[in-house]
Chain A
């Protein structure tokens, strides 16, 4: 009897890569930021993250069991969602806040659509949006506690001490980004005064502090540097690609430079866009959420359009919208447009001739 061997379609070689390896590498890439979160905000950050991850994984397992589909919690995608939800949360939050966010993210953001690959929105962002809508005070109050960190932030900004008394009121209890936002909107002080303060906030020392991770915000956004290290790793491993983050951040830079100043077009210093890039959720959003494979375009041109769209929306929200921060809503809004973007950005085929 002749041996009969199994046949299959080519190729017969396969790169060593799987859904699991992709997801767990994203988890790994988020670790530097988590470590920085623990370093600056304490052990509580780790606990909140663990609750969040646990909630995400359990929700996924339970729903999959219920739907009678294979349980895929080992693929790491729920872990990623759990971490990202926690990263969007203030360390002063109660333990159930990330849990609620993760349950919502997995149940409504992912499983309702049919699970990984079918979801339209980035689940973690949807979870966050849910928390903001349901418990606005808990989530948007920002960095309310007067901690040593905040104090050091204040004193690191030259000239804040010498301002009229009413100014600090405008800017206390806030993240640097909401300070800038408040300065744009305030009528309590003169425009010139506001501009001086803004330039002081968006100054090199602040940016440096934000970059390293010395300033308030939510757990995962504390250190731009830590996030960038993780992002560099993912880019090196070809898990994320440059187009979305670069076009996103580039758009924010240009638009803030043009429109970000208080006294008309181009009145901002060049440091203001830099400050905007490193403050708030932009780095986390641009490198880890906008690049979410499932919910971003697959065509190369589509990714550029997607990034630019996120950038425009972010700037619009930050400058004229009601929130100091606009990253998550921008990405969620652009998520909706993805099928359309893919449809209208069919790439030019190698050697393409006009029909």
Chain B
């Protein structure tokens, strides 16, 4: 077990067998899409269409609002039928643009660029920004921002995140199998953009075939390598991945990967970047895993952004049992949502359906002080005492035990015998502590 990894972490069953062997299939054009104006971290975009407008596939419908923001594009051809509040895949209600399709898939003009090698870093970044790309692993940080470190920072390493440590999800895995060459080309492009000297693809050990493919393809590249990583959650968390692959520790209190001269991109994002730069294709589709024990035909589906989860589930054959819980994203960090009439976003890596039994909630008990959460916290925090101090409104101690450094990976709640809703308490703590700072 000499594989690289990070300290702490947990070992949930990976549950990937449901969907890992089904090749990516493209969903037929949905009749309707709902595109939230905020699918990323940063300022929400600003709609530039109004009800009744005709839009083409790929047409910009909502503009980036400032540098840390991204534009949104129509993902089908048709008519804007409503701008208003819709369900958002993070479980809330949020402003979105509804487009009703006319059955055609009439694209804006894409330009195939033969000579992407001659593009400058700034040209590449502006194409990425125009395409509306954000981190597709889940966090949704605008990609062009990540690629623009301030003058005093330099980047020497680009790490591609092929870990996909969330159980059930296999979208990135399928991409790595089916589009490995594009991923490598995208990696080179990213490295060029930030003038990095080395490129690393981190892949968890439960995907030996993906590791093998990349090791073979990268055999003759001396500054690129695939690094197999130990199977452990959250191996794909940014700081943990950086530590595992380079032994560098991103500073806490808001430190960023660029502080240790690294940029991390998810493999799906990398393909979006490649397509944006090569064809000027905006980010209007992605791969999403639809899975769960009760899903009839678990699948990895290439679907347009804004497609309703109900359409995706139908494509996967529906469920064999009554649904207990619907999760948008992975089971550890994803959101439970109340209705399938929710659209997928750029960050939607999965749609999971749980049966009634898996959905059952255990009542919160008193903390046993068993320390299990402390032992596994990958950030080396004291989750039990954060929760305790939040309950007792001692914000200072909550901060001391690390509430602001928690990445909400959920490992602590996963191992807690008392079923304490640690993430919920930590969320409250984060809000209160940052409010106090203002």
Contact = CB atoms under 8 A, between A and B. Distances in A.
In this complex, the interface size class of chain B, counting residues with CB under 8 Å from chain A, is 35 or more
A17 interface: yes
Contact of A348 (B251, B339, B362, B380): B380
Interface in A268-326: 293-300, 303
Contacts of B354: 12
A22 B368 contact: yes
A68 interface: no
Nearest to A296: B369
Nearest to B406: A349
B400 A5 contact: no
A351 B246 CA distance: 14
Contacts of B370: 22, 239, 293, 298
Interface stretch (A113-121, A173-181, A214-222): A113-121
A2 B337 CA distance: 13
B121 interface: no
A296 B424 CA distance: 25
Given A3-B323, A238-B372, A350-B380, A8 B417 contact: no
B382 A347 contact: yes
Interface string B350-366: 00101000110110011
A48 B362 CA distance: 36
Nearest to A117: B366
B250 A351 contact: yes
B56 to A, nearest CB: 30
Interface residues of A, number: 46
B334 interface: yes
Contact of A12 (B252, B253, B327): B327
B350 to A, nearest CB: 11
B82 interface: no
A8 B413 CA distance: 13
A151 B384 CA distance: 52
B358 to A, nearest CB: 8
A3 B423 contact: no
A350 B417 contact: no
A298 B384 contact: yes
B421 interface: yes
A241 B373 CA distance: 12
Contacts of B249: 350-351
A140 B259 CA distance: 63
Given A3-B339, A351-B250, A13 B368 contact: no
Nearest to A239: B370
A117 B367 CA distance: 6
Interface of A: 2-15, 17-19, 21-22, 115-118, 238-239, 241, 293-300, 303, 342-343, 346-353, 355
Interface of B: 7, 10, 12, 91, 167, 239, 243, 249-253, 255, 323-327, 331-341, 352, 354, 358-359, 361-362, 365-372, 374-375, 378-382, 384-385, 397, 400-402, 405, 408, 410-411, 413-419, 421, 423-424, 427
Q: What 6 pairs across the A-B complex have the smallest Cβ distances?
A: A11-B410, A117-B366, A293-B370, A7-B336, A351-B249, A9-B424
